[in-house]
Structure 1
Amino acid sequence: MPVRRVPPRTLLPRAACAAALLTALTGCGPFPDGDAEADGPALSAPVGVTAQAGSPTSVHVMWNRPVSTTEITGYEVYRGSVRVKELTAQQHMVDVTGLRAKTRYEFTVRARGEDGSLGPVSRRVSVRTPATVAADRSAPGRPEGLRGHVDGGRAATLTWRRATDDKGVVSYDVYQGTTKIHSVDGGQTRALLTGLRPGTAYRFSVRARDAADNVSPASDTVRLTTAQGKDEGPGTAPDDFRAATRRADGAYYIDLKWTPPQTGGEVPAYQVYLDGEQATTVMWGDSAPQGGSAYSFYIGKEEGARHRVKLRAQLPDGTWGAFSPERTVTTGG
């Protein structure tokens, strides 16, 4: 991806990174945030696209409405280059069936405008379906111990104990009332729900699904009310954020390290802020690291320069989470 130059104070990024990163400066990436201009693009790509295998032959694809100033009349879901689903504007998730077991698939989503034209393609997400199991008519046991807490006005976190199944749980489906709104891998017992409305009461439950597509009874229901205000809660912020400077080849660099927030999926991008202004967007390619993350960028040649740095993660719904604590570093210090 091409990199645009910025003022000398924030010559970003000339970076060495612990993972294979693609970087784009402010305005280069496809991810909108709350500071975007009110008029926005006429029709942009759907955000927060995720894909979760529900069985050896099905995948659950989810996304959020794109930023748009034109009326959206529907969505098209693609498996590779093949259109597999056409949906109304009110639908933001779908189960794609008829797939093969033990196969990797890639999905994208496009929005359709009122004139019938299609918007840009969303980011590509990949998923691998599990292996087929022998005949299995036994559903998993219900997930127990469902607990939840709100994170600010727009997010909530659910946790539960692992469900039992004779063949193994493939995924957990999260329900708001009677509507499935989210899915996470069967190895997880936590889900971060974003895009909620401030000051609103919700009822959530969880069901387990096995490789034969048997679904458990629903867990107990947890009732949560989001806080007033539109802020993201601290649970959406990167954890254990550290920053340090180093000197190399006659110049100074800032090295960042952090732990991704537990969103129930990969975090595809981060926004890095330097001295109160967004400096760069860091994006991973096909697979984001699941554990600790690191990023390094050039800051200049001046010794004794003092800088403040923080970052925030892109959430599953395409919005940006809470900021990490702000760290202060001094070159040559």
Structure 2
Amino acid sequence: MERPRRLRSPLLRPLVAEVELSPRHLVLPVFVKEGGEPEEVSSMPGVFRHPLAQLPRLAEEVLKAGLGGVILFGVLPEEEKDSLGQGAYAEEGIVQRAIRLLKREFPQLLVMADTCLCEYTDHGHCGVVREGPLGFYVDNDATLELLAKTALSQAQAGADVVAPSAMMDGQVKAIREALDRGGFAHVPVLSYAVKYASAFYGPFREAAGSAPQFGDRTGYQMDPKAGLWDALREASLDDLEGADMLMVKPALPYLDVLAALKGRFAKPLFAYQVSGEYAMLKAASLRGWLDERRAVLESLYALRRAGAQGILTYYALEAARWLREA
């Protein structure tokens, strides 16, 4: 009689386990604002908007925890936003200053920069908005120039990785060419290659102040109802355009997509456990409906098993602590 339980004894389980999860696999998303005190995001208990001056303290925690790095998102007051998102590529933009600060004080810290416009535009969309016969639309090709400027400014500030997330066709090619021309051929591109128009982004939009002021992003983000062909096409295009790493966003609802990409691309694959996923786990845990530690680690192991080599998660610091305590 076959007895799978024979391999599940406390002493044998660690030896036969195939999936590894360690703090180095985790990247912490960080919201950066100008000044004042840290502000907790109401829909994401335990997640804060961090003032620029206090980033070094957070960086020390990240390094002590052994995380893989951080990815930065800028937070601007509404009065500083404009239709072209100029704060995204300003030399003295909030993210550019944050990068310089972190790389000056902690050169050993991996610093990624999210490359998009939505946090900096007064309309909340990820690109240049035009009026058309059927209403507004985001001008793909006009946006490419601004995304390339943003990525170049981030690299000039010292970013180790730029991560385009706007889902504009051709954005990886435009960014790769701008980086190469600007003397930053060594800076890799982590592409949000497969990014769905998801219901799980709501808390992030509160945190970053990036909710669209009209319409939605279904015209450029992917349809959750589409088949794997859509994900494979998007990832293939970014692969051909020069992306060094590919990412799927959100994470848990798209384990099938992660696994499919893992089998087809010889490049590191990342997953973003997004704000809504964090909020669900946190809310259920606060109500005593879930064992937070077990549920979070189980979700992260699932992403690793599906093929993610790196995971962006708001739980990074807590998960690192739980892994050390295990």
**What band does the TM-score fall into relative to the shorter chain?**
under 0.3
Under a length normalisation based on structure 2, what TM-score does the superposition of the two structures give?
0.27
Larger Rg: 1
